[in-house]
Structure 1
Amino acid sequence: MNAQATATTKPTWQPSAITRHLALLEAHAPISKRVLQAGQHLYHAVDTFDRLFIVGTGMCKTTEVSRDGREQVVAVHFKGDWIGLGGIAAGRYGCDAIAMDTCEIWSVPYDALLASCARTPALLEVLHLAMSRELLRERATMLALCTLPADARVAEFLRWWASELDERGMRTDCLRLPMSRAEIGNFLGMTLESVSRAFSRLARSELIRFTDRSRRDIEIPALAALGDFSRRCIADRDGAEVALH
C-alpha cells in the first residue's frame, strides 16, 4: 500500500496485461462464471480448498475472524485479482471471501488449472504473477500498519486505491469507496474515530473533497499531493521522536 510497493507492482500489471491474462485464462482453462451481489459469500473459511477464483468485474474483500470474534478485513480484491491462493498449502480456505458490490467471479478447479498450465506455459506465468502480487500486497499492508502514522495510513490507502483503479484503466480523480469508515479502520488497524478525523484533516487540507452524493464518493484533485502529505506526517513524527530523546 506504500509508494514503493505500488511502484514495484505496477510495471507487470497494466490494463493491457490484465486483459491479456484474463483472455489467456478463459481460452486455456475450464473457467466457470457467476455473479455475486454485495454481501454474498464466495466461500467461507471452513470450506475445503478445491479451486481458485478471479475477479472478472467488481470488487471483493477477504476477512478473518479474530480470537475475540471480531471480523478483520485482510484484503481488497479488484478486477484481475486472484482469490483463494492461501488455500493451496492449507487444503482449506483461510478466510471468508465476500462481494463488496455486484461482481462477476471466475472460478477454475485447481487440478484442472495445473493441467492447463502444463499445456500452456504462459498460463503458469500468470499464476506465478498472481502469487507474487499477493505477497507484495501483504508486505505493503504490513509496512503501512507498522510504520505509518494514522493520517498517513488513510492518505496512502486512498492513493493505493486510486493506483489499483489506474492500473485497470479507470478514473482516479473520484473514488467510490464501497467500504464504511469502520471497515476502512478495520483494514488499516485504526479506530472509527481516528479514520473519521484523518478524512476530515485531509479534506481541510484540500487534498480530498467529498461529493454531494455521498461521503463515500471522494474527489482527489492531485494524487501526488497525498504522497507529499504522507511524507510530511512521517517527518513530523520522526522529528517529535528525536526531540523526546
Structure 2
Amino acid sequence: MPLQAAVQPAPRVLVHHLADQRPAPSASASHHTIPRVDGLGLIERHVEVQRRMLRAGEAVYKAGDRFTHLHIVHSGCFKVVNVSPDGREKVVAVRFKGDWLGFDGIADGRHDCDAIAMDTGAVLTLRYDALVDAARAEPALMMALHAAMSREIARDRTSMMSLCTLPSDARVAEFLRDWAQSLAERGLRTDQITLRMTRAEIGNFLGMTLESVSRALSRLAREQVIRFAEKARRELQIPDIGALERFIERCCAPARATLQ
C-alpha cells in the first residue's frame, strides 16, 4: 500500500502534546517520567508529520522497501527483524514510545530489515529528504537527529554486550529489566507488564532456545523475582526491579570468580 494512503496527517495538537507535555505517571510507576521526543516540536514547525495506525503484525516497512521516511513510535511496541538471504529471521531490536525507526535505510536507500507492530500502535512519519532540508537551516534539528542515532547505536551496543557476556538466566532477567525500565521511563506501570513477544521471539532476540527461555522464567518465578498472572502467561508481575538486578548479579558471580 502506498505510504500516502496508509497515513493521515497528525493533528498539530498531537505533536505539540508529545513535544511539550508529559503524562502524569500512574500510582505504581517509578519516579521516572516519559522522555521528551528530541526535537519533535522543532520538527513539526519545519516538516510535515503524519500519523499512521498499525495493528499487531502489520509492518511499518519491510526489508527491500525503498527508503523515503523516518518514523517515531507514538504508541505501542515494535520489533525490528533482520531476514537473512536463506530466510532466517532474527529479532534485533524492540522499540517503544519515543524511539525512532528507519535509520537502517539511509545508507543504501532501501531498508534491510522489517519493522513490525507487536500490538496496536501508531508511528509519526516524516519524509527524510524534507527533514534533511530543514536541518540545513536549523542546526538544532540536525543535532536532535544525530542524538537519536547516537542513542540507537549505544543501545544496540549494550544489547550485544549482554548477549555476549551474560549467562542465559541473567540474559532473560536483563531483558525483563530493560523492558520494565523502558516503561518506567515513559511514566507507565512496571509492577505488572504484558510481554508482547512470544517465548520463541524472546529466545530469538536473546540467542536462546524457547526451552531455555522457559527454564529461566521458571527460575525467576521460583525465586519470587517475578510472578505469572493466573490466566495469561504473558502477564508478568515484577514487584521490584531491583530484585531483577540482584538476580543478574548472582548469576554473574560464579563467572567473575572463575575469571579471578
1:215 to 207, 211, 233: 233
Q: Relative to 1, partners in 2 of residues 1:156 and 1:108: Cα closer, same or farther, differing over 3 Å?
A: same
1:117 to 130, 135, 149: 135
Q: Does 1:152 align with 2:170?
A: yes
Mapping 1:2-17, distance limit 5 Å:
15-17=34-36
CA–CA separation in structure 2 for the residues paired with 1:43 and 1:127: 20
Q: How many residues align?
A: 229
Aligned to 1:202: 220
Aligned to 1:165: 183
- Offset at residue 186 of structure 1 (A): 0.4
Q: Secondary structure at the match of 2:66?
A: coil
Q: How big is the alpha-carbon RMSD for the aligned residues of Structure 1 and Structure 2?
A: 1.8
Higher helix share: 1
Gap runs ≥5 in structure 2: 1-31
Does the 8 Å CA contact 2:61/2:115 hold for their aligned counterparts? yes
Write out per-residue CA displacement over residues 60-80 of structure 1, whole angstroms, 9 at most, x where no aligned residue. 111011344221101111011
Q: Which amino acid aligns with 1:193?
A: E
Q: Does 1:33 align with 2:51?
A: yes
Q: Does 1:54 align with 2:77?
A: no
Q: Does 1:180 align with 2:198?
A: yes
CA–CA separation in structure 2 for the residues paired with 1:67 and 1:133: 28
- Offset at residue 14 of structure 1 (A): 5.5
Could you state the TM-score of these two structures normalised by the residue count of structure 2? 0.83
Aligned to 1:82: 100
- Offset at residue 39 of structure 1 (A): 0.2
Q: Which amino acid aligns with 2:232?
A: S
Paired-residue identity, %: 54
Aligned to 1:71: 89
Could you state the TM-score of these two structures normalised by the residue count of structure 1? 0.88
Q: Secondary structure at the match of 1:33?
A: strand
CA–CA separation in structure 1 for the residues paired with 2:250 and 2:55: 40
CA–CA separation in structure 1 for the residues paired with 2:156 and 2:185: 18
Write out per-residue CA displacement over residues 92-117 of structure 1, whole angstroms, 9 at most, x where no aligned residue. 11101111111111111111001222
Q: Which amino acid aligns with 1:17?
A: R
CA–CA separation in structure 2 for the residues paired with 1:47 and 1:86: 11
Does the 8 Å CA contact 1:22/1:80 hold for their aligned counterparts? no
- Offset at residue 177 of structure 1 (A): 0.8
Aligned to 1:3: none
- Offset at residue 15 of structure 1 (A): 1.8
Q: Secondary structure at the match of 1:144?
A: helix
CA–CA separation in structure 1 for the residues paired with 2:155 and 2:35: 20
Q: Secondary structure at the match of 1:55?
A: strand
Q: Which amino acid aligns with 1:56?
A: H
Q: Which amino acid aligns with 1:175?
A: I
Does the 8 Å CA contact 1:63/1:73 hold for their aligned counterparts? yes
- Offset at residue 230 of structure 1 (A): 0.5
Does the 8 Å CA contact 2:43/2:131 hold for their aligned counterparts? no
Q: Secondary structure at the match of 1:17?
A: coil
CA–CA separation in structure 1 for the residues paired with 2:108 and 2:173: 35
CA–CA separation in structure 2 for the residues paired with 1:153 and 1:24: 38
